[in-house]
Amino acid sequence: MNNLILSSAAVTCMLAMTPATAEVGGKITFYTHFTNFVENGKWDEWTNAFETAYPGTEVEVIGIANYRAEMPVRIASGDYGDVVNVLDNLPPQDFKKFYLPLTDMPLAETHQFVDRYKVDGEVYGYVYGVNAEAVVYNKQAFARAGIEAVPTTRTELFEVCDKLKSAGIVPMQINMGAGWPMQQWDKAALMFARDGAFYETMLSDPSPYDAKKPYGQSIGLARALFEAGCTEKDYTANNWEQSKTLLGAGEAGMWFLANWSIPQAIKAGEALGLENVSDDLGMFPLPIDDSGSSPVLLNPDWALGVSVNSKNPDTAKAWIDFVLTKTDIANEAGFIPGDLRIAPTMPQLVELQSYDAPMIEAGTPSSAFVQAMADARIDFMTGTYIRDVILAKDYDAAIDEVNARWAKVTGQ
């Protein structure tokens, strides 16, 4: 994949391929992680439009702030509405236990990352959009610190951090206290490996967290930033909301998160009365080494699926189709749209593309890998184990302990 702006010359127009109105009716419940769209009224706007397009329907939207923690409990209870995110830490072979097949939907022909949610020929989810994992930075913060160009090497990254710190600006927010943003260092392992299928190679490696291996290098970079004082001082409290304000206002210089995070920083800055916040934010590849050619990881965001217990599956499918093809949710959220027929609008993605970085498309973690992570008590993609390792009194011993748990469950 050579281009961040994912489009298809073969698909030149938005086709009217929604389910027949006669088949759609009744009430559905939708559990969403986009609580910001609950708060700003966008979900009200979109549900009203859907209910107008499909008379006799009703969509109840329920926002879940900590989706990864709360939704597994709801799903285990069997009461989880009609439309939900497909849990990304669920083994793909278990999709059919909790979600209905969506293979008959037209989205199968026009969407990205469909194979990630395909099991035994059946598709169980369609993504909102695609994320480019890279550094989001505030240009005004850089200017105040006397930084004239974005860093392209690891050495330059730490030099930039020192300049920002000297200017009284938080260099790199990692949001350790919030926990979940630390999952970025699970993802960065693929960048250090320069291989989207790297997770699978770990199954035959008894010590994948060693310092010189991709996972060890990834967590090692996060720890080096922390130990060098390049991160926020408060590493215990959940300051996620505050961090958005700091980046939007230029009181913080950077964070390593995907493009979805940019609209949230813009909104936080504008809430302070600041103007042109979007113009102040940019993106560049995270410099993982001194090669000057660090890659960008492409990852799908959450996918929408239909509960296997849904009493109105046709309405649920119509809602998914409507959300992903008839609303501007992908661009509102700052994604590269999942639907190839919708063009991205975010200028920061254009800047990121200008650096001509190698692109790595994240592969689908296998059931065996996900199960091994669970059996080893490594909370993959939730971030807290990485936080615990970084904060451990004896970092090397903490890494050894994670390696030992991994080796035990993989039989090595």
Mean pLDDT of 267-290: 97
Instruction: Identify the pLDDT of residue 57.
Output: 98
21 pLDDT more than 70:
no
43 pLDDT more than 90:
yes
What value does the mean pLDDT of the chain take? Answer: 93
CA 398 to chain centre: 26
Instruction: Identify the pLDDT of residue 13.
Output: 37
Q: Which of 375, 359, 366, 365 is nearest to 410 (CA)?
A: 375
18 pLDDT more than 70:
no
Percent of the chain scored above 90 by pLDDT?
A: 87
Mean pLDDT of 273-299: 97
353: confidence class by pLDDT, cuts 50, 70, 90:
confident
Copy the structure tokens of residue 173.
């927010």
Q: Is 146 helix (H, G, I), strand (E, B) or coil?
A: coil
Quickly tell me which residue has 């027949």 as its tokens.
Answer: 20
Angle among Cα 58, 64, 68 to the nearest 5 degrees reads 130
Q: What is the pLDDT of residues 323-346, one digit of tens each?
A: 999 999 999 988 989 998 998 889
Domain ranges of the chain: 21-128+301-344, 131-298+356-361
The answer to whether 174 and 225 are in contact (CB under 8 A) is yes
* Buried residues in 295-316 as b, exposed as e (16+ CB within 10 A): bbbbbbbbbbbbbbebebbbbb
Q: Do domains 21-128+301-344 and 131-298+356-361 have the same CATH topology?
A: yes
68: confidence class by pLDDT, cuts 50, 70, 90:
confident
Instruction: Identify the pLDDT of residue 12.
Output: 32
Mean pLDDT of 336-358: 92
Instruction: Identify the pLDDT of residue 321.
Output: 97
20: confidence class by pLDDT, cuts 50, 70, 90:
low
Mean pLDDT of 236-240: 95
Contacts of 272-276 with CB under 8 Å at 24 or more apart are 272/245, 272/248, 274/248, 274/249
74: confidence class by pLDDT, cuts 50, 70, 90:
very high
Instruction: Identify the pLDDT of residue 23.
Output: 81
Q: What is the pLDDT of residues 86-142, one digit of tens each?
A: 998 788 889 999 999 999 999 999 999 999 899 999 999 999 999 999 999 999 999
* Backbone φ/ψ region at 411: left (φ over 0), alpha (ψ -120 to 50), beta: left
Euclidean distance between CA atoms 331 and 348, whole angstroms: 12
Q: Which CATH number describes the domain made up of 131-298+356-361? A: 3.40.190.10
Q: What is the pLDDT of residues 377-386, one digit of tens each?
A: 999 999 999 9
412: confidence class by pLDDT, cuts 50, 70, 90:
confident
Q: What is the pLDDT of residues 134-167, one digit of tens each?
A: 999 999 999 999 999 999 999 999 999 999 999 9
Mean pLDDT of 272-282: 97
Instruction: Identify the pLDDT of residue 22.
Output: 57
Instruction: Identify the pLDDT of residue 367.
Output: 80
275 pLDDT more than 80:
yes
Q: Which CATH class is domain 21-128+301-344?
A: alpha beta
10: confidence class by pLDDT, cuts 50, 70, 90:
very low
Angle among Cα 269, 381, 30 to the nearest 5 degrees reads 70
